[in-house]
């Protein structure tokens, strides 16, 4: 003892500063500590209110540095993200996602923390978990796997500037403090890149909620006894302050243990248990502290809650023993859960949904609506959430994604009018513009096949007409273009042969000095023979009759009309046969082909219009029934209305529309209830659905429009 400093009479290691609630109270000295660390085996309990974000991990005093000095200070919430994910390649290129949470889910699902618009990745592809100075990547059993710096991994501690590839997307992991990545890099070189992170030797283990080890300090050797004869003059005020700080911590721990086990606070008859006015907490700094709102419940929290529950039960039992009666407890009526009000949000199928004021449940409803392609309803729910809680997790990203889906759906719906106007090129461009990340993409691809077939048939018809006019070069350009996209198309191949034969015939024809007599335009076009043959199904005879008319001296208008009819016959024949075959396999494809055939038939006088309209009514009615089964009443009503526009007597479409009208009337009543209760956004969403479902002649259709205007 004679060779030790006076400060060592307190028995603490040299150079350790004690920081209590931000105030340095003293220094603990010991030059000869044989062990590199000294730690509390049990974490100091949380003595502050649950709203505090300071979480006590362990009392940790590493002394590996030459001066053996470490500071014990309060953990403060960090606003700066630990790292950032940057999209270097893929549909979301250029976007950045700050990483703050303890656990972050990445995938294409709307409920992920980082939502990627890439159809080639899984809904929940991988997870990032805080692990010391970095994040650990954990693949979630994805279909295509996850590559980190070119290597497929299941778990990996990420280094600064790591390159993550999932599907067609490449992400860059950038640490906010790149210096911290050096330790991770050294760990990888040691062969621990994909293994579990090695625990820090200087950190005391945190016991589980079931383990309650006694509060004790582990010391490598007996501490020097406290000399009772030390005077303030000998030890200095710093030593007394340090001693008081330690006693405060000890008293706080004793109070906490007593409160948890015996409920001293209430036992003393001081009423309902409340937290002390002020408490002193000493915490150890953790570099991987969870952000506010993202940390999981610690074992200490669970133990505290269990102790609180036991304390309350002890108080209740004590009151029973003293008074001989049971304490005030809720009655059966009081214990019944509240019944949601009649004006709560309801789903489009008329069933009661979750209360309006629960953002998480509304978010789940929005996800479900989006999966069912009910984007208007999903968007209204998400906007309601943002209005109630602007800081709701991932809400802005979810709104942006649904707005994009809504845009794709409107593009898809605009194609039908383009096809009816024979604007096939525009329709194809619109359908191709819908990305493979969109939920509308499968339907768009099906429709694209039908529109491309209709366009191809129309171009074949044009090539036939040009060839008949002797414009071999023009016909060859059209045929070559068709064969580029469809090398095995039988009609295009036959046209190619016909053009070659025409060229040979022209080359063998002897030159003549006869000057062609220009058409004077004195003859009148007679289409009766062509139309009659067309209606009988003798398409070749119909074409021959028109070609004979073109050899006469027709006016310019009649000549153009005859050529248009020739093209219409070829277009009708191709699309009519294709559409009937597609009715058995794909209604969406059949609709495109049959509508193209109907347009061609109008040019020929409408000989097949009744049959075509009946087939179109059947196709639209089938789609209406499918949509109704999926509880997509808006789409079901639209398809049913379209079917009835082709055939007003089609019973199947009438049946679906009748059921949809019943749903629409119920939705109108729900919309009014929400409107009267002040749930304006939800009411507007329901009114918009009502307008899509009900016929324009329905009374509630007009009322819904008026409510939206107001």
How does pLDDT run across 102-143, given as a tens digit for each residue? 999 998 887 888 888 887 788 889 999 999 889 999 999 888
First to last CA, the chain: 89
- Report how far apart, in Å, the C-alpha atoms of 674 and of each of 101, 118, 523, 668, 685 are: 36, 37, 71, 10, 10
CB 70 within 8 A of CB 63: yes
- Residue 657 has a CB neighbour count (10 Å cut-off) of 25
Place of tokens 């509060």: 215
Average pLDDT, the chain: 71
All structural domains of the chain, each given as residue ranges with its CATH number in brackets, are 81-180 (2.60.200.20), 359-504 (no CATH)
CA distances 142 to 42, 114, 429, 435, Å, are: 39, 16, 33, 21
The C-alpha atoms of residue 448 and residue 424 are separated, in whole angstroms, by 10
Lowest-confidence pick of 140-154, 173-187, 308-322, 581-595: 308-322
The tens digit of pLDDT for each residue in 439-452 reads: 888 888 878 877 87
Rounded Cα gap, residues 627 and 641, in angstroms: 13
Report phi then psi at 615, rounded to 5. -70, -40
Task: Report pLDDT for 588.
Answer: 78
Residue 152 has pLDDT above 70, yes or no: yes
Residue scoring higher pLDDT (109 or 48): 109
Place of tokens 């102790």: 307
Nearest to 571 by CA among 544, 538, 593: 593
Pairwise CA distance, residues 118 & 104, whole Å: 18
Q: Of 441 and 333, which is predicted with more confidence?
A: 441
Q: pLDDT grade, residue 158 (50/70/90)?
A: very high
The pLDDT of 417-441, averaged and rounded, is: 82
The confidence score (pLDDT) of residue 689 equals 85
State residue 635's pLDDT score: 84
- Name which of 41-55, 159-173, 310-324, 639-653 the model is least confident about: 41-55
| Mean pLDDT, residues 587-610 | 87
Contacts of 461 (CB under 8 A, 6+ apart): 566, 567, 568, 569, 570, 571, 574, 600
* Alpha helices for 87-236 (secondary structure H): 181-189, 232-235
Percentage of the chain lying above the pLDDT 70 cut: 62
Q: What's the rounded Cα separation, in Å, for the pair 241 and 223?
A: 19
In sequence order, what are the residues at sequence separation of 6 or more whose Cβ sits closer than 8 angstroms to the Cβ of residue 304? 45, 46, 260
Whether the CB-CB separation of 634 and 689 falls below 8 Å is answered with: yes
Mean pLDDT across 39-66: 41
Report pLDDT for 184: 57
Q: Identify the band that residue 189 occupies on the pLDDT scale cut at 50, 70 and 90.
A: low
Mean pLDDT check: name the lowest of 477-491, 603-617, 653-667: 477-491
What would the mean pLDDT of 618-630 be, rounded to a whole number? Answer: 88
Bridge partner list, 554: 523
Averaged pLDDT for residues 355-375: 79
- Give the 3-state secondary structure of 589-629: HHHHHHHHHHHHHHHCCCCCHHHHHHHHHHHHHHHHHHHHH
Q: Which tokens in the block code for residue 443?
A: 């339907």
CA-nearest of 637, 596, 632, 636 to 616 is 596
Percent of the chain predicted with pLDDT > 90: 11
Q: Do the strands 134-139 and 155-157 form a parallel or antiparallel pair, or are they unpaired?
A: antiparallel
Q: Which residue has the higher pLDDT, 253 or 296?
A: 253
Q: Do 34 and 63 meet the contact criterion of CB atoms below 8 Å apart?
A: no
- Tens digits of residue pLDDT in 250-294: 666 665 555 555 454 444 444 444 444 433 333 333 333 444 444
Q: Is the pLDDT of residue 326 over 60?
A: no
Smallest Cα–Cα separation from 593: which of 433, 461, 482, 456?
456
What is d(CA 682, CA 667) in angstroms, rounded to the nearest whole number?
11
> Which residue has better confidence, 146 or 492?
146
Residue with tokens 């501490």: 223
Tens of pLDDT, residue by residue over 492-519, are 788 888 888 887 777 766 555 444 444 4
User: How far is the CA of 374 from the CAs of 279, 402, 635, in angstroms?
Assistant: 53, 10, 9
Is 710's pLDDT higher than 80? no
* pLDDT of res. 127: 94
> What tokens does 533 get?
């043959």
Compute CA distances 160 → 96, 103, 171, 566, whole Å: 15, 18, 12, 68
- Contact between 454 and 441 under an 8 Å Cβ cutoff? The reply is no
């Amino acid at each position: 003892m004679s060779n030790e400093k006076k400060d060592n009479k307190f028995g603490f290691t040299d150079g350790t500063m004690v920081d209590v609630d931000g105030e340095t109270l003293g220094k603990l000295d010991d030059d000869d500590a044989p062990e590199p660390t000294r730690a509390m085996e049990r974490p100091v309990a949380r003595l502050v209110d649950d709203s505090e974000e300071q979480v006590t991990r362990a009392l940790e005093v590493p002394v590996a540095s030459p001066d053996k000095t470490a500071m014990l200070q309060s953990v403060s919430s960090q606003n700066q993200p630990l790292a950032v994910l940057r999209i270097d390649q893929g549909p979301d290129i250029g976007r950045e996602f700050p990483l703050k949470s303890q656990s972050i889910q990445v995938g294409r699902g709307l409920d992920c923390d980082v939502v990627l618009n890439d159809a080639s990745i899984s809904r929940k592809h991988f997870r990032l978990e805080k692990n010391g100075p970095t994040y650990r990547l954990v693949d979630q059993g994805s279909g295509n796997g996850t590559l980190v710096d070119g290597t497929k991994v299941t778990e990996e501690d990420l280094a600064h500037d790591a390159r993550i590839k999932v599907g067609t997307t490449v992400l860059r992991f950038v640490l906010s403090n790149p210096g911290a990545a050096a330790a991770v890099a050294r760990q990888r070189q040691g062969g621990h890149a994909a293994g579990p992170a090695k625990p820090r030797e200087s950190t005391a283990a945190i016991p589980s909620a079931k383990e309650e080890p006694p509060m004790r300090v582990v010391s490598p050797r007996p501490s020097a006894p406290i000399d009772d004869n030390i005077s303030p003059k000998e030890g200095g005020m710093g030593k007394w302050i340090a001693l008081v700080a330690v006693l405060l911590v000890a008293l706080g721990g004793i109070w906490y243990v007593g409160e948890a086990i015996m409920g001293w606070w209430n036992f003393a008859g001081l009423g309902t248990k409340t937290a002390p006015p002020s408490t002193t907490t000493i915490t150890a700094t953790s570099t991987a502290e969870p952000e506010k709102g993202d940390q999981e419940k610690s074992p200490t929290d669970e133990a505290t809650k269990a102790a609180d529950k036991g304390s309350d039960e002890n108080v209740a039992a004590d009151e029973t023993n003293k008074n001989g009666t049971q304490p005030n407890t809720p009655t059966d009526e009081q214990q019944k859960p509240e019944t949601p009000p009649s004006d709560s949000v309801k789903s489009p199928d008329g069933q009661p949904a979750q209360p309006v004021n629960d953002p998480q449940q509304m978010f789940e409803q929005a996800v479900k609506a989006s999966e069912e392609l009910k984007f208007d309803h999903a968007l209204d729910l998400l906007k309601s959430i943002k209005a109630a809680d602007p800081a709701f997790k991932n809400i802005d990203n979810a709104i942006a994604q649904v707005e994009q889906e809504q845009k794709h759906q409107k593009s898809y719906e605009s194609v039908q009018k383009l096809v009816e106007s024979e604007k096939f090129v525009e329709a194809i461009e619109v359908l191709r513009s819908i990305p493979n990340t969109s939920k509308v993409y499968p339907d768009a691809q099906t429709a694209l096949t039908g529109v491309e077939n209709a366009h191809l048939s129309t171009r074949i018809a044009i090539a036939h007409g040009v060839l008949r006019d002797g414009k071999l070069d023009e016909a060859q350009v059209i045929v070559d273009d068709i064969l580029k996209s469809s090398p095995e198309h039988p009609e295009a191949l036959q046209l190619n042969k016909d053009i070659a034969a025409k060229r040979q015939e022209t080359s063998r024809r002897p030159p003549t000095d006869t000057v062609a007599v220009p058409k004077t335009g004195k003859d009148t076009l007679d289409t009766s023979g062509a139309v009659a043959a067309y209606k009988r199904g003798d398409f070749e005879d119909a074409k021959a009759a028109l070609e004979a008319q073109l050899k006469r001296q027709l006016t310019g208008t009649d000549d153009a009309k005859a050529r248009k009819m020739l093209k219409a016959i070829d277009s009708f024949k191709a699309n009519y046969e294709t559409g009937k075959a597609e009715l058995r396999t794909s209604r969406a494809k059949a609709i495109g082909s049959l509508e193209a055939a109907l347009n061609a038939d109008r040019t020929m006088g409408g000989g097949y219009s009744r049959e075509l309209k009946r087939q179109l009514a059947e196709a639209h009615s089938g789609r209406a029934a499918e949509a109704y089964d999926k509880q997509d009443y808006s789409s079901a009503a639209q398809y049913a209305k379209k079917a009835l526009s082709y055939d007003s007597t089609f019973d199947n479409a009438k049946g679906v529309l009748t059921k949809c009208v019943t749903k629409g009337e119920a939705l109108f009543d729900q919309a009014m209830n929400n409107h009267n209760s002040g749930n304006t956004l939800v009411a507007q969403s329901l009114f918009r659905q009502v307008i899509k479902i009900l016929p324009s002649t329905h009374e509630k259709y007009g009322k819904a429009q008026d409510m939206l205007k107001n």
